[in-house]
Amino acid sequence: QKSGITLPDDEISRKLPKEILLRILSYLDVTSLCRCGQVSRYWNMLALDGSNWQKIDLFDFQRDIEGPVIENISQRCGGFLKYLRLRGCQSVGSHSIRTLANYCHNIEHLDLSECKKISDVAIQQLSKNCAKLTAINLESCSQISDSSLKALSDGCPNLTEINVSWCNLITENGVEALARGCNKIKKFSSKGCKQVNDRAVISLAIYCPGIEVLNLHSCDSITDASISKIAEKCCNLKQLCVSKCTELTDQSLTALAMNNQYLNTLEVAGCAQFTDSGFIALAKNCKYLERMDLEECSLITDATLQNLALGCPSLEKLTLSHCELITDEGIRQLAGGGCAAESLSVLELDNCPLITDATLEHLITCHNLQRIELYDCQLISRNAIRRLRNHLPNIKVHAYFAPVTPPPTINGPRPRYCRCCEIL
């Protein structure tokens, strides 16, 4: 050291300017930076320079990270910090996030999912000091309520992504306040929030027409009225999940078909009122569909597959689990469509009781197929799976064959356990 300044003490550091060394270190992850900081005093100074800590992901250290660590990082990084991921850091509480808010005014992306000690107090402080925040993940932060959403609506007008999944205290009042104040939202997720209802979803449609990704999984009180409004107002909608929203009918699918031609992902597992009529309308108008989850849509038949084969050439993943009316003929038509030959990579058919070996024969031409689920398809044989693998050697086939119970002996003693019990 000379005059309080730490000087380089190795050849590399003496030959390269400080600015170049900082630029090199800026590409390293947290672990590598910490290791570099142990090389020498000079490298320690460089490694801990705030400019290297613009993006921090502490997920791999979630069990070890406690509040003082976050407070120290916040003070050291200051205005440099833009991205912080604390997913699963359950020891981090509101006090640490308040410190973060006080020092890191330029934070843009903050992931606090599963940080169960975080409360409304922390989010209110963020909203006061972090106006540049564009994305926040509060999934499974069980103490978060409408107060947090109201605070974000007041202080974070640039918010484009928010996840409040499994925050059971969130209601339509909080969502409406958020929508009014943050009309740039493009991604919204409230999976498992039972109090998010039609009024909440309609507010999003009215005030946030730029929504592209919407996850309402298990918001089971929503009806066709709110989904129709989303379809009408949010023309750029690309991904929609309404799985377990059991009140929905074909009216919702028809509205999406009429207004959302760029839809590429649709998850409707457990929506048992949907029929062929709704999916046929989608197939005719939504040609960019890539992923569809139709699990437990028990009323659909081969007609749905026929129309998807004709109208959705980009289909990559299709889930038909528990669609008990699907037969080999539907799979034949799907396999003969453009999507199967060029795009289809995942097909889930578990618990489709009418599927037989003929289905696997039809799928031999699907050259891009990487995985197929066949659990509890009782009419599928091992030989058919072998033949499929001969044609598609890289495919992963997930199937289960119940072990055969040995027949009862005629003269000898009765077996104590069946074959299943022996295996278990």
CATH number of 289-401: 3.80.10.10
3-state secondary structure the chain: CECCECCCCCHHHHHCCHHHHHHHHCCCCHHHHHHHCCCCHHHHHHHCCHHHCCEEECHHHCCCCCHHHHHHHHHHHHHHCCEEECCCCCCCCHHHHHHHHHHCCCCCEEECCCCCCCCHHHHHHHHHHCCCCCEEECCCCCCCEHHHHHHHHHHCCCCCEEECCCCCECCHHHHHHHHHHCCCCCEEECCCCCCCCHHHHHHHHHHCCCCCEEECCCCCCCCHHHHHHHHHHCCCCCEEECCCCCCCCHHHHHHHHHHCCCCCEEECCCCCCCCHHHHHHHHHHCCCCCEEECCCCCCCCHHHHHHHHHHCCCCCEEECCCCCCCCHHHHHHHHCCHHHHHCCCEEECCCCCCCEHHHHHHHHHCCCCCEEECCCCCECCHHHHHHHHHHCCCCEEECCCCCCCCCCCCCCCCCCCCHHHHHC
Report the greatest alpha carbon distance in the chain: 99
Q: Which amino acid is at 407?
A: P
Q: Distance between terminal CA atoms of the chain?
A: 68
pLDDT at 3: 46
Judged on CB neighbours under 10 Å (0-12, 13-18, 19+), 221 is middle
d(CA 124, CA 131): 12
pLDDT at 9: 63
Give the CA distances from residue 46 to residues 28, 31, 40, 50, 373, in Å, rounded to whole numbers and listed in that order.
12, 15, 10, 9, 51
CB 160 within 8 A of CB 136: no
CA 254, 256, 260, 264 torsion-angle sign: negative
CB 104 within 8 A of CB 71: no
pLDDT at 42: 83
State both tokens at 1. 């050291």
State both tokens at 54. 């613009």
State both tokens at 108. 């843009």
pLDDT at 400: 81
d(CA 138, CA 146): 12
pLDDT at 63: 72
For strands 239-241 and 265-267, give the pairing. Answer: parallel
CATH 3.80.10.10 boundaries in the chain: 289-401
Phi, psi (deg, nearest 5) at residue 171: -125, -175
pLDDT at 411: 61
pLDDT at 412: 59
CATH class of 8-52: mainly alpha
pLDDT at 408: 58
Tokens 């009122």 locate to: 273
CB 281 within 8 A of CB 257: yes
pLDDT at 347: 97
State both tokens at 17. 């300017």
All residue ranges of the chain with pLDDT < 70 are 1-11, 402-424
CATH 1.20.1280 boundaries in the chain: 8-52
Give the CA distances from residue 87 to residues 28, 46, 131, 145, 373, in Å, rounded to whole numbers and listed in that order.
20, 27, 22, 19, 31
